[in-house]
Amino acid sequence: MTYAQELLAEGRAEGRVEGRVEGRVEGQVEVVQGLLRVGVTWDVIEAATGLNEARFRALKEQLTGSGS
């Protein structure tokens, strides 16, 4: 494998990891938004997901800032 091929393979691997992470973040945000829509309180959301309101807002901002 040439050096260029190694770099390309490394870039693809990093892209897959970033995509999985972004997908997990999107999933968490969607779950919390759904819970909020049906009236679940932050106490319950935090107990169930481990996310507090500040962390949720940060994740949501991360998605918005990344162009999603």
Predicted pLDDT at 46 = 94
Q: If 0-12 CB within 10 Å is exposed, 13-18 middle and 19+ buried, where does residue 42 land? A: middle
Predicted pLDDT at 37 = 96
Q: How many domains does the chain have?
A: 1
60 neighbors 19 (Cβ within 8 angstroms):
no
Q: Tens-digit pLDDT profile for the chain (68 aa)?
A: 898 888 888 888 888 888 888 888 899 999 999 999 999 999 999 999 899 999 999 988 988 885 44
Full residue range of the structural domain in which residue 46 is found = 3-65
Task: Of 51, 5, 6, give the one whose Cα is nearest residue 29.
Answer: 51
37 neighbors 29 (Cβ within 8 angstroms):
no
Alpha carbons 58 and 28: distance in angstroms, whole number? 12
